[in-house]
Amino acid sequence: MNFKDLREYIRFLEEKGDLVRIKTPVNHELEITEIADRTIKSGGPALLFENVTGSDMPVLINMFGSDQRMAWALGVDGLDEIVGRVEGLLDLMHGPPEGLMNKLRTLGQLVHLGSFQPKTVNSGPCQDVVLQGEDVDLYKFPILKCWPLDGGPFITLPLVITKDPETGIQNYGTYRMQVYDKQTTGMHWQTHKVGTHHYRMANELGLERFDVAVALGGDPATIWTGSAPLPPDMDEMAAAGFLREEGVELVKAKTNDLLVPAQAEIVLEGYVVPGEERTEGPFGDHTGYYSMEDPYPVFHVTCITHRNDPIYPATVVGRPPMEDYWMGKVTERIFLPMMKMILPEIVDINMPAEGIFHNLVIVSVKKEYPGQGRKVMHGLWGLGLMSLVKTIIVVDHFVDVQNISEVAWRVANNIDPAQDFVFSTGPIDDLDIGSPTPKFGSKVGIDATVKMPQEGGREREWPPDIVMDDAIKALVDSKWSDYGLG
Ligand SMILES: Cc1cc2nc3c(=O)[nH]c(=O)nc-3n(C[C@H](O)[C@H](O)[C@H](O)COP(=O)(O)O)c2cc1C
């Protein structure tokens, strides 16, 4: 399974009965949000709004909003399949293969990997229509105003493309964009993101203009990679190609040198002026609170290209769970094997919806020595965007971190609060509302593992879990119907 573009994915979801076309007129201000919010929270389908007031374009929303849809979007039936492929890829790094068959298999895999690289093409449907000058008008697109106190309409599912001014390596990131007028938007580059790093470099180099392109739509794996926290110089398009097992087609933008996904629905081309900033927000954010006004860079749109009859993709964030929970859940699954390479004692990890990724991470570890729970906390706080996590709970390997009830039970029982809370400080997410000042704040790790004698001088034995004998369980199973309990 591999989708060429958004249209193929829409057709697929429709065949699966997992997409509803809504023909009733709906307003892009607030009404779509309320419908999407109810649909997402009740586990409903993807929605294609075909009659949006003020625009002749349909709006697609909730394309990633379930475990199953997220797996399909990445071209598999279940996420385990993708995780298996990531593990296979990492296996290639585990030293030279032994035996002829294994050597040939590895060679085959490497050749296969080469074919997943992005392919530059001369033309693409994303440039069927080219608009420049006065024809550039963002208000022709059904851009959503999501929540009542939002500062305006926001583009919520963009793939923002920038180039490292020194290496020329492109980055693709999902960063929302507030529409200020028909040719200008905000660029919500949070402090710790790669697009922001490029922007800071452009500032330092004293560039007068910094080119930016924004793709909307494309094949679903490509859209998703914008949200994946890949290391700065790792190409999101190579990752998308690996996931869909076919290289992503890229085409040169019409008015600058950036390469954009050829199968996108809409592409905005333009520039940011280093140093120019403007108030962005408020915006009903994925924290479940409004992110209030803050200064952010400004994106000037000089050219819009689009397909014939483009489809406008969007998402709505808000009080969790929302669609972005599912986009993040697959990130958690895909990145777990990589985290295990660096911190091999990690067994499983859970970023529950309520923790919105940067507030709460629960991790189970196979502990072999005193202090290992703390080692994992500090290790995670040093790892990419994990450095922003405010609360890390560490439990033992036998605890099911996906079961919040079990985690709450173990944590509350196991901790000695005076010893098991590890406080630290460091960078925090720009969206954090708890810390007194933005961007820097405190963190807490809770070591809820079974303690060894060296950890705090514990002299008491750890009590065993209460578990019934297998023989009694089997006996009760066999007599269950006799008890008259149904
Ligand atoms: C729907 C959605 C909206 C997002 N909006 C923003 C945003 O406005 N600003 C931001 O910095 N990150 C935002 N993110 C998170 C980034 O996409 C994510 O951190 C990603 O790793 C950034 O790419 P980068 O690592 O190349 O910077 C959003 C994620 C999703 C799924």
Tell me: do 303 and 355 sit in the same domain. no
Name the residue at shortest CA distance from atom 13 of ligand 1.
175
The amino acid sitting at 46 is A
What pLDDT is stored for residue 114 in this prediction?
72
Average pLDDT in the chain? 95
Residue 325 maps to a domain: no
Residues in contact with ligand 1 (CB, 6 Å cut-off): 156-157, 171, 173-176, 188-190, 193-195, 226-230, 315, 317, 324, 327, 385
Active site residue 285: yes
Question: Quick one: which atom of ligand 1 is closest to the CA of 196?
Answer: 27
Question: For residue 170, what pLDDT is reported?
Answer: 96
CA–centroid distance, 228 to ligand 1, in Å, is 8
Phi–psi pair at 286, nearest 5 degrees: -80, 0
The DSSP result for 198-267, as a single string, is HHHHHHHTT-S-EEEEEEE-S-HHHHHHTTS---TTS-HHHHHHHHHTSPPEEEE-SSSS-EEETT-SEE
| Catalytic pick among 18, 150, 219, 285 | 285
Q: Domain range holding 161?
A: 6-314
Domain of 256: which CATH number? Answer: 2.30.110.10
| 351 and 310 assigned to the same domain | no
Residue 334 resides in a domain: no
- In this structure, are 138 and 206 located in the same domain? yes
pLDDT at 97: 65
- 242 in a structural domain: yes
Task: Provide the 10 A C-beta neighbour count for residue 167.
Answer: 10
Look-up of token digits 């023909």: 23
Dist. CA 140–CA 239, nearest whole Å: 32
Position 55 in a domain? yes
399 inside domain: yes
Residue 322 inside a domain? The answer is no
The CATH code of the domain that includes 421 is: 3.40.1670.10
Same-domain status, 52 and 165 = yes
Would 60 be classed as within a structural domain? yes
Query: What pLDDT, on the 0 to 100 scale, is given for residue 101?
Result: 66
Q: If the chain, 486 residues long, is cut into consecutive pieces of 10 residues, what is the mean pLDDT of each piece?
A: 95 98 98 98 98 96 98 95 86 69 62 81 98 98 98 98 96 98 98 97 97 98 97 90 94 98 98 98 98 98 98 98 97 95 97 97 98 98 97 98 98 97 97 96 98 90 96 98 94
pTM (2 d.p.) = 0.95
Whose alpha carbon is nearest atom 4 of ligand 1?
Answer: 175
* Domain count across the chain: 2
pLDDT of residue 25: 98
Return the pLDDT at 168: 95
Distance, in Å, from the CA atom of 378 to the CA atom of 384, rounded to the nearest integer, reads 12
User: Are 260 and 158 part of one and the same domain?
Assistant: yes
352 in the same domain as 302: no
- Residues 350, 307, single domain; the answer is no
CA of 283 to the centre of ligand 1 (A): 14
Pairing of strands 290-291, 283-284: antiparallel
pLDDT score, position 113? 67
Does 472 reside within a domain?
Answer: no
How much is the pLDDT for 87?
A: 87
Give the span between the Cα atoms of 203 and 189, in whole angstroms: 14
- Any residues with CB less than 8 A from the CB of 327 and at least 6 apart, and which? 64, 70, 224, 227
